[in-house]
Amino acid sequence: MPKITLHSTAGIETHEYNSANSLLQTIQKIGGEVFAPCGGNGTCGKCRVKVKHYGTVTSCLYYPTTDIEVILPDTKESKILTDQYKHTLKLPLNPCCLAANVHSPMGLGIDIGTTSMVFYWVDLKTGGIVNTTSVTNPQGRFGADVISRIGHCANEGGLEELQKVLIDAINKELIKLEENEGIINSDIVKVTISANTTILHLLLGIDPTPLALYPFTPAFTDYKIVAAKKLGIDINEQGGIHLLPSISAYVGADIVSGISSIAPRNEIKNYLFIDIGTNGEMAVVTPNEIFCCATAAGPAFEGANIKCGMGAFDGAISEYSDNGYKTVGNDKPIGICGSGLIDIIATLVNNGTISMDGVLTEDFVLADKNHSGNGENIILTPRDVREVQLAKSAIMSGIKILIDKAGLTYNDIDALYLAGGFGNYLNPDNAMRIGLLPMELADRIIPVGNTSGAGAVLHLLSEDFNDVLKSTVEKSQNIELSEHPDFEMEYAMNMYFS
């Protein structure tokens, strides 16, 4: 019989398993815990686990037949999945744009981030998420942030190059789906894409240069449907590529989609929404108005511009304290991802290794080359600390200005929804310790996972979501921080570690 090696907070154990069972059933039979609110019926997509050397799968729909190694979500990850499920909008299954000749219509929701791309494969008949996969955004080799990529468009053939690598990455994942799940490309009748404004321009091959020049005017922000054939995306020839709407040059569809995907509890009237990624995008949402902005946070929290920085992949230090570190996948450390970076700096500020004004006198060794996974010292440098100072100051300044613009105080904010892959895993106490998030909202922080991806899935599942998106856009007002009279002072004041 094949064997399953299970990684959990209780340790590592190996068992034989019956390949006739789903992975969820197998895990449950050997005593593992996986969040499955729909009871394993394939409709909620929340029982996701990581299969080493394969990726993230929806365990109730995955039937392994060979030896596999599975990493279960820890307590924190499980809580995030629970919170995301509780706070995500529920809409009736009402997909549109289905080709009449397709017996088993599938949809693909894609969250294209600056650093990574997440794919959600959805059965449009049942509403179930069949699989979730993620890859690194291949545009990263042309620049860690959108400004660098916009600059690349000035090179001959640069725009075409940036468009091609995105489309190639999508088609590559389509081929993998067809090979692994037995789904043919003609079954995929709809693709919904949520991304920042620059990425959407690059995907359509539209010059994004005006986004980097005052007055930062996008060529489009509205909802678009483009024929898949026109873009060269290999799905059903009648299928369309749906691009969700944006608000401004730097408040994109990922934020519109994210805000629209949330269903606050009745008692939550005013809330702060933050997606901390390469661009720190945020909004203050009130019953009648939405005030939003983007901050020039830079890519530090995505691992770029950090000496040993990396994405949240196997071997990344993702947690740190005076007692040591934990890595993604429990592998030997090969670098530091965003959540680990916050923990490291908070710990070193607490013990005085880093001063309140951000001085680290020499490189700090987290793991020497004899204990790392790449034979090199894993270190934090003084420059790394500076990068974090700049990023966290930009984000906190944006928060303060938005709340003031809305005529509110911290006491008026009922919740802080923390979105995005990085927001999933950061330790809120440490984020507040370094001044990335306001201490005043400590008891109101709710991690809600990848809301941009959740919005893309909702758009696949229900035509009703278009009305929600439209309402979000109509209520939104973009605040350009570079023009705000208080921004420079706020930015300087928020440089210190609180």
Query: DSSP string covering 193-237, please?
Result: EEE-HHHHHHHHT---GGGGSTT---S--S-EEEEHHHHT--S-T
What are 188's strand-pairing partners? 106
Assess whether 120 and 229 both reside in one domain. Answer: yes
pLDDT score recorded for residue 329: 78
Asked, for residue 65, whether it belongs to a domain, the answer is yes
* Distance, CA of 189 to CA of 405 (rounded, Å): 43
The pLDDT value given to residue 119: 93
**One digit per residue, pLDDT tens: the chain, 498 residues?**
899 998 877 778 899 999 889 999 999 898 888 877 777 777 777 788 888 877 778 888 888 999 999 988 766 666 666 667 788 899 998 887 665 577 789 999 999 998 889 999 899 988 888 888 888 899 989 987 888 999 999 999 999 999 999 999 999 999 988 887 778 888 999 999 999 999 999 999 999 999 999 899 999 999 999 999 999 999 998 899 999 999 999 999 999 999 999 999 999 999 999 998 767 899 999 999 999 999 877 677 877 789 999 887 789 999 999 999 999 878 899 999 989 999 999 999 999 999 999 999 999 999 999 999 999 999 999 999 999 999 999 999 999 999 999 999 999 999 999 998 777 778 999 999 999 999 999 999 998 888 999 999 999 999 999 999 999 999 999 999 888 999 999 999 999 997
Asked if residue 236 and residue 138 are part of one domain, the reply reads yes
Its domain, for residue 237, covers 106-253
Q: Is the preceding omega at residue 215 within 30 degrees of 0, hence cis? A: yes
Work out the angle at residue 329's Cα, subtended by the Cα atoms of residues 325 and 332, and round it to the nearest 5 degrees. 55
- Residues 227, 148, single domain; the answer is yes
Tell me whether residue 195 is in a domain: yes
Residue 146 inside a domain? The answer is: yes
Residues 169 and 231 in one domain: yes
| Per-residue pLDDT tens over the stretch 110-164 | 999 988 899 998 999 888 888 888 888 999 899 878 889 999 999 999 999 999 9
Residue 323: burial class (beta carbons within 10 Å; 0-12, 13-18, 19+): exposed
Single out the residue in 231, 253, 275 at which a domain terminates.
253
pLDDT computed for residue 403 by the predictor: 97
> 110 and 162: one domain?
yes
Give 461's contacts (C-beta < 8 A, 6+ positions apart). 91, 93, 94, 95, 107, 122, 124, 127
Q: What is the pLDDT of residue 298?
A: 65
Q: What secondary structure letter does DSSP report for 262?
A: B
Q: What is the pLDDT of residues 383-433, one digit of tens each?
A: 999 999 999 999 999 999 999 999 999 999 999 999 987 777 789 999 999
On whether residue 483 sits in a domain, the answer given is: no
Pairs from 157-162 (Cβ < 8 Å, separation ≥ 24): 159/202, 159/205, 159/207, 159/208, 160/205, 162/202
CATH, residue 162: 3.30.420.480
Q: 237 with 228: CB under 8 angstroms?
A: yes
Domain identity same for 144 and 199: yes
Residue 218 lies inside a defined structural domain of this protein: yes
Are the CB atoms for 114 and 196 separated by under 8 Å? yes
Q: Examine the domain organization and report whether 356 and 241 are in the same domain.
A: no
Residues 111 and 234 in one domain: yes
The count of structural domains within the chain is 3
Residues 318 and 229 in one domain: no
Say which CATH number the domain at 54 has: 3.10.20.740
Does residue 206 belong to any structural domain of this protein?
yes
- How many angstroms separate the first and last alpha carbons of the chain? 56
Q: Which residues contact 232 (CB under 8 A, 6 or more apart)?
A: 167, 171
Distance CA 396, CA 249 (A): 20
Buried b (16+ CB within 10 A) or exposed e, 79-105: ebbebbbebbbebeeebebbbeebeeb
Residue 260 lies in a domain: no
Residue by residue, DSSP assigns 347-415 as: HHHHTTSS-TT----S-EEEE-TTTSSSSS-EEE-HHHHHHHHHHHHHHHHHHHHHHHHTT--GGG--E
Could you give the CA distance from residue 418 to residue 282 in angstroms, rounded to a whole number? 10
Instruction: Please tell me whether residues 65 and 129 are part of one structural domain.
Output: no
Q: Are strands 3-8 and 280-285 parallel, antiparallel or unpaired?
A: unpaired
H or E segment and range at residue 163: helix 158-181
Instruction: Specify whether 193 is located in the same domain as 247.
Output: yes
d(CA 222, CA 213): 20
Last residue of a domain, one of 22, 57, 73: 73
Q: Which of 350, 380, 410 finishes a domain?
A: 380
Q: Please name which of 492, 307, 308, 291 lies closest in space to residue 393, comparing C-alpha atoms.
A: 492
pLDDT given at position 76 = 64
Nearest Cα neighbor of 11 from 59, 54, 71 is 71
Question: What's the rounded Cα separation, in Å, for the pair 112 and 173?
Answer: 13
> What tokens does 32 get?
């593992």
Asked whether residue 269 is domain-assigned, the answer is no
Cβ partners under 8 Å of residue 462, min gap 6: 91, 92, 93, 94, 95
Please check whether residues 214 and 166 belong to one and the same domain.
yes
For residue 216, count CB atoms less than 10 angstroms from its CB and return exposed for 0-12, middle for 13-18, buried for 19 or more. Answer: middle
